[in-house]
Every structure is written in structure tokens, then in C-alpha cells.
Amino acid sequence: MEKTKSDYSRSSSRAPSIWAFILIAVGVIWLLGQAGILTSANFAVLGRMWPIVLVAFGFDLLFGRQRGLSMLIGLFTVVLLVILMIIGPSIGLASNAELVTDAFSEPIGDATRADIYLSGAVGETTVSPLSDSNDLITVDTAHYGTVSFDVSGESRKAVTLGYEWSTTINFDFFGWFGDTLNQEAYTRIGLTPNLPLDLQVNGSVGRIDLDLTELTITDLTISGGVGEVVVNMPTSGERYTVAINGGVGRTAVDAEDAAPFEMRTSVGVGEFVLDLPDDAPVRLEFNGGLGGLNAPGWLDQTSGDDNNSGTWESAAYAGADEAVRFDLVINGGVGGITVR
């Protein structure tokens, strides 16, 4: 029987099949695996979480005929699987992975300053000042895979703490609940407040909590990851530089009592909040993203005509010495940006 025009109209307006999203998910995950972004641990999580696909098919059979709902079900399933694969190892969802605890330390020795590099941590990461200690750094960590702790230099020490998945983890398609489900990875770092430090945190998965209030920071860099980032800035010391390259998750920077700094931020996906000292000498350059800028009343807009881009300055900025100024450049991403 020849189809009528209304038949073609109904066919063309039908919501996309959930199979299309599953195929997209397979392709994306495959590409991320080939690129080395997803490791055996991430695929082990997929091996445990695959029944989510069956649940999605069930919802699609029940509700998918409603226009647009099938697309939402498929999109939510893809996003959920990718997120679980990324954060799963940090909460023990890689069922055949072994949680290992390690401790490291390095004395100050003859050092007069130090560079600290942290890369690839999974789970909650905390940094806080040491008290009554002759150590430059102490590390207490529970992790999956392998961890490396390397130190070089004498008067200026360089300390590198890195994580990687180097073991093969077998798939466990039917082991939905495993012995490691409630075991969480973490990294707890103590740093000396007695030396100037450059601190760099790269590519962590999980919450990052940096209590830098008593530390002497000369340069701070935080680069992309997945999870919330909370930073309490140093309250004393000379003006220093800050670079924050956004990842996925909320970022909160508390600088209400902070020493002056120069900051360049590229916001990723998630809310960005910056607390500054009231009426401080501040200049803010904002290059708009999708969330816009919410600026405090004590900052006057000196260029631009809306909250999507422009320059703001406080009344105290023009007459302040450069050494006490806060110079900020914020490049917007996806999410609201609040300066207060």
C-alpha cells in the first residue's frame, strides 16, 4: 500500500530511537579508550554499570512514544554512563581493583623553596599546612593502580606526585555489588608554611580542597578535572599569580582575607564563585560565556554595556600600588560566575 503524506509526516516526526544514543555512546567511549583518556579501571566500571542500559530500554518502552521523551532518556543514559566511568574508580566501582594505601614524606633539608606537582589523583584531595614539622611535604593516600613520588633538587626542590592505572582489570558484568563498593580513594597532603611554594594540581577526579591560608604561595595552577574545587587563598605574603583552567564541576575561591594576587581563569562546566576582600583594589576583565557575570556593587563597570563582557574596577584600584592590587581575568564557560 502506498504511504500517504500524513504517514511520512508521522514517520519524520517520530522521536529518535534510543539505539541511536547507545551507538553514539559506544563510539564516544571507544574513541576515549583509544586516546588513552579512559583506562582499564574506567572500563571495569562500565562492566559493572552496563545494566543501566537495560533500565533505559525499559523506560523507553514505557514512555518513549511520547514526543521528545525518548531523546531525553537516551541522552541521560549516555551522560550517566560516561560520568560513572570517569568517577567510578574513586568510589570503588572498579570491582577487581585493589585499594592500596601509601605514605610519603620529604624533609626540608637545605631547600629554600619548592615546586609541588600533583597529577591524576582520584578521590577527595586535600592540601593543608603542616605544623611543628621539619618536613617539606607529607602524603597519605589510598588509591587504585600505581602512584609515584619523586623528589629532585636541593636548594630548590621539585616534588612530583602522580597516579596512573597500570594494571589490567577484568570485566565483571554480573558483579553489580562488590567488596570494594564502599572503599574510597583519597589523597591528603601536608605542606610546610616555612618556604615559598609553587603548587600545581592537574587532572584530578573528585573533590579538591586546598587550604592555603597559612602557606607562602608564589604561583598556583589548577587545571581541569571532574569534581568540585574549593580553594582558601593565602592570607599573607607577596603578590603572586594564579591560573585556574576549568574542568567539570563547581569552583569556589575564598579570598576574603587573602594576600593580593593576579589571576587568570578559564571557567569550564559548572558554577564559579570568587569571594574578595570588601573594597579591595580590584580590576576585573570578563570575557563572556553562557552564564554571565554577577558582580558586586562596589565594582564599577568601566567598559562594556552588559554582564556578558567588559571591565570592572573598584574605587580603590586607580590609586593603589601594583603590589597590593588584585588583577583578574575571567574567561567564561558554561555556568554562572559570581564575584562578591
The C-alpha cell at 312 is 570592572
Cβ contacts of 286 within 8 Å, gap of 6 or more: 293, 295, 304, 307, 309, 310, 311, 312, 330, 332, 337
Question: How high is the pLDDT of residue 143?
Answer: 86
Question: How high is the pLDDT of residue 16?
Answer: 56
Question: Tens of pLDDT along 78-120?
Answer: 788 778 777 776 666 665 567 789 999 999 999 999 999 999 8
Does 138 have pLDDT greater than 80? yes
Decide: 282 and 295 in contact? Cβ < 8 Å. Answer: no
Q: What is the rounded CA–CA span in Å between residue 155 and residue 152?
A: 10
Question: How high is the pLDDT of residue 12?
Answer: 46
Q: What is the rounded CA–CA span in Å between residue 191 and residue 298?
A: 35
10 Å CB burial of residue 44 (0-12, 13-18, 19+) is: buried
Does 271 have pLDDT greater than 80? yes
The C-alpha cell at 153 is 633538587
* Lowest-pLDDT range of 15-19, 20-24, 162-166, 203-207: 15-19
* β pairing state of 240-245 and 216-223: parallel
Q: What is the rounded CA–CA span in Å between residue 53 and residue 168?
A: 24
- The more confident residue out of 27 and 311 is 311
The C-alpha cell at 233 is 587563598
State percent of the chain over pLDDT 70. Answer: 81
Does 173 have pLDDT greater than 50? no
End-to-end CA distance of the chain: 68
What residues does each domain of the chain span?
8-91, 100-339
pTM for the full predicted model:
0.72
DSSP 278: T
Decide: 200 and 245 in contact? Cβ < 8 Å. Answer: no
For 40, the enclosing helix (H) or strand (E) is helix 40-49
Average pLDDT, the chain: 82
Question: How high is the pLDDT of residue 36?
Answer: 61
Partners of 282 in beta bridges: 326
